[in-house]
Amino acid sequence: MEQVDPEVMNFYRVFEFGGVFLMSILVSMVARRREFDIFGFFVIALVGSLGGGMMRDTLIMAGAVSAMKDPMYLILATVGALIAFFTHLRGRVWELFQVHADALLLGIWAVAGATKALQYGLPPFSAVLMGVLTATGGGVLVDVMTGVTPQVLVGKRLYAMPALLSAVIVVVLNELGQTIWGMLLAPIPATALALLSYWRHWKIPFHVEFAPVNQAANFLRNAAAPLENESRRIARELEPYAMRSLRHQALAKADRELGNDVDDANPVEEAKEAVKDTAEAVKAVVEHDVETAADALTADDEAEVNREGGDGRA
């Protein structure tokens, strides 16, 4: 990764601090809705504003996580929790501010996470993953702690997709040797996409019955059914009558063997005998001695019927 201008890094550092402060206030609204006490406000604020970066630093083994090395992160998150605890922020204006601020933070944190991963030598795909994790990890942890399905997984609004877009842009431009431009421009399309998804109610489409592999398999099976039926018809016409009769007799004999009572004296031996008789019949067919094979099967069947009649079984 090329050396990044210190002014750009300072610019992103200021935005990170501002993002931690703002996000701590935003996520603390969840604590108010859940009627948490002040300790709950602090926990939600710290996890929501710092969780993504802490997970990123842990995974890339960056030593002590940034939130622990620089006390300013913890201070800003704590102040944000106090503001949210003592001030009930609500109304349409606050909702619009929350949506726009969240969209901006998604792009900035995704770029910051991907850039830090590249600085530590991670490959492009891993860097993109770290960018998405940085932007969405805190929100996922808050949702899990409060018993809500994470917004990233539900898809009611594009949330992870804008972060993914920012991370991909900064990684691609870094590969092209334009890291600075990537850091400056990547948050813009992600923020725009997040806002458009809110105003136009965009979401990733999904239906519980969506299974294109199964649908393709069913289509191919239905398309091949006429061909299969026609091939069977042709095979029946080409098969000699004696061979077909022999095959039917062998199948009938096997059905009778399988239908015997489970208390037979030696079902294993009877099964072996049936297999042996069928094998001899098939061998006779191979040797073009169809009539002999048919006679052998018929004789065996008659003997078996007589034997079963003598044993008193139908």
Q: Which of 162-166, 200-204, 231-235 has the highest mean pLDDT?
A: 162-166
pLDDT of residue 79: 94
Q: Evaluate whether 149 touches 185 at the Cβ level (below 8 Å).
A: no
Q: Are residues 258 and 135 in the same domain?
A: no
CB atoms within 10 A of CB 214: 10
Gap between the Cα atoms of 115 and 179, Å rounded:
8
Q: Is residue 205 assigned to a domain? A: no
- The pLDDT score that the predictor gives to residue 164 is 92
Q: In this model, does residue 303 exceed pLDDT 60?
A: no
At residue 266, the pLDDT reads 60
The enclosing H or E element of 166 equals helix 160-175
Give residues with Cβ within 8 angstroms of 240, minimum separation 6: 290
Looking at 166, 199, 232, the residue that finishes a domain is 199
pLDDT score for 313: 43
Q: What is the pLDDT of residues 117-159, one digit of tens each?
A: 988 889 999 999 999 999 999 888 998 888 888 877 776 678 8
> Is there a single domain that holds both residue 93 and residue 39?
yes
User: With contact defined as beta carbons under 8 Å apart, do 267 and 225 qualify?
Assistant: no
Please state, in angstroms and rounded to a whole number, the distance separating the CA atoms of residues 228 and 53: 59
Verify that 188 and 100 share a domain, yes or no. yes
Instruction: Give the count of beta carbons closer than 10 Å to the beta carbon of residue 210.
Output: 9
pTM of the complete model? 0.65
The per-residue pLDDT for 171 is 93
Q: Is position 281 within any domain?
A: yes
pLDDT of residue 247: 66
* 180-232 residue pLDDT tens: 888 888 899 989 998 998 888 887 776 777 778 888 888 888 888 888 787 77
Do residues 31 and 135 both lie within one domain?
A: yes
135 shares a domain with 20: yes
- Of 90-99, 154-163, 171-180, 201-210, which gets the smallest average pLDDT? 201-210
Domain count, the chain: 2
* Residue 239 tokens, joined: 């098969």
Instruction: Please report the pLDDT score of residue 19 as a whole number.
Output: 86
Q: Which of 165, 199, 233 is the last residue of a domain?
A: 199
Note the pLDDT of residue 269. 66
CA dihedral sign, ordered 130, 136, 142, 146: negative
Q: Considering the domain boundaries, does residue 1 fall inside one? A: no
Instruction: Supply the pLDDT for residue 312.
Output: 44
Q: Is residue 92 a part of any domain in this protein?
A: yes
Among 199, 222, 240, residue at a domain's last position: 199
What domain range is 216 assigned to?
Answer: 212-310
Rounded Cα distance, 307 and 311, in Å: 6
Distance separating alpha carbons of residues 1 and 118, to the nearest angstrom = 6
Per residue in 261-290, pLDDT tens?
Answer: 444 556 566 666 666 666 666 666 555 555
Q: Are residues 181 and 218 in the same domain?
A: no
Asked whether residue 294 carries a pLDDT value surpassing 60, the answer given is: no
Q: Which of the pair, 93 or 275, is modelled with greater confidence?
A: 93
Q: Is the pLDDT of residue 236 over 80?
A: no
8 A C-beta contact, residue 79 and residue 134: no
Say if residue 173 is in the same domain as residue 46.
Answer: yes
Chain segment 40-89, per-residue pLDDT in tens:
999 999 999 999 989 998 898 877 788 888 889 999 999 999 998 998 88
Residue 190 near residue 136, CB atoms below 8 Å? no
